[in-house]
Amino acid sequence: MKKKLFPLFISLLSLSGTSVTAQDLGTTTHDVPMVQLNNGILMPRFGLGTFLQPSDEVCEQSCLTALRAGYRHIDTAHAYQDEAGVGRAVKASGIPREEIWITSKLWPTEYGEGVTLKAIDEMLERMQLDYIDLLYVHQPVGDFVGAWKDMEKAVAMGKVRALGISNFDASDEVFQLIMDSSRVKPAVLQMECHPYAQRRAMRDKIKPWGIQVECWFPLGGAMSNGTLFKDPVIKDIAQAHGKTPAQVILRWHIQEGFSVIPGASNPDYIKENIEIFDFALSDDEMARIRALDKEQRFFNMSLDEKRKAYLHTDRPNLKRISEEKK
């Protein structure tokens, strides 16, 4: 009963114009803070990203390692081709489904009214799940307006709990189009964000809607070649706390109010990344890291490049694209 009624509450809340500002409200296991999204539901602000997992099978083991370490949020996508592994891990973990937040993303070839609902059903089938907690339109190209209409229907049907936009920081035009076209407003914006690219203008833009920021490449990603880990300020703060540079960066994200999804397949890194809730950065340390902002993004594909690369393929070679952008 709860599963059927809750999405209806979300739809009515969004359609009525009621705004719930994103705010922390309690914690999940391992002291991970929960944020209340603008539709009233709670999301863990720390999770595992599964982008560029070596294989679906490795993804399954990575997710199991994460869940056993205290993670309760897993981010995947159709384009990553590892959703089935995520679903198997959820089942094998023995953790009640309602305690795990599952995010996935639709690819542009799945966009369109009358097309996207079928794609959502196929996504649920791949993961062997009854519902998805957060569903994104992955890229701001193609008929994302039509996709959004079907996504709103999926919310009303109880198949999805919250809707988000990924990479809609690409231009003012695509962001405004989705905001003007949507009845159920986006609850989360996912974009590249880290100490060298803190995205302050975009953060200010989404504030009126209470949209939560979720950061991909929070540690810079593979194409950064570990640049953030070598920064003297971050290294100095890490040494002061007896932590790694990665842990300091992730702690900064949490204290800055972001949701953060570091990707890893190495079990040691997965466990290391969540060990950030037993210390805190001082106001001075937060200010020192904020001062590193220079809007230096490590992935810089233009909107036109995305249209050419993403619109005509169901199985994008994201690894190749990432390598080309290094």
Q: Which residues are catalytic?
A: 80
Question: How big is the chain, counted in residues?
Answer: 326
Angle, to 10 degrees, between the axis of helix 283-290 and the axis of helix 245-256?
100
For residues 148 and 171, give the distance between their C-alpha atoms in angstroms, rounded to a whole number. 18
**Residue 322 phi, psi dihedral angles, 5° rounding:** -65, -40
Question: Rounded to the nearest 5 degrees, what angle is found at the Cα of 101, between the Cα atoms of 255 and 77?
Answer: 100
Name the residue among 186, 143, 193 with its Cα closest to residue 165: 186
Name the residue among 145, 144, 195, 137 with its Cα closest to residue 167: 137
For residues 314 and 53, give the distance between their C-alpha atoms in angstroms, rounded to a whole number. 18
As beta bridge partners, residue 191 has 215
Q: What is the dihedral of CA 248, 249, 253, 256, to 10 degrees?
A: 70
What does the buried/exposed string (b/e) look like for 122-160 if buried means 16 or more CB atoms within 10 Å of the residue's CB?
A: ebbebbebebbbbbbbbbbbbbbbbbbbbbbbbbeebbb
C-alpha of 122 from chain center: 21
Q: What is the CA radius of gyration of the chain?
A: 18
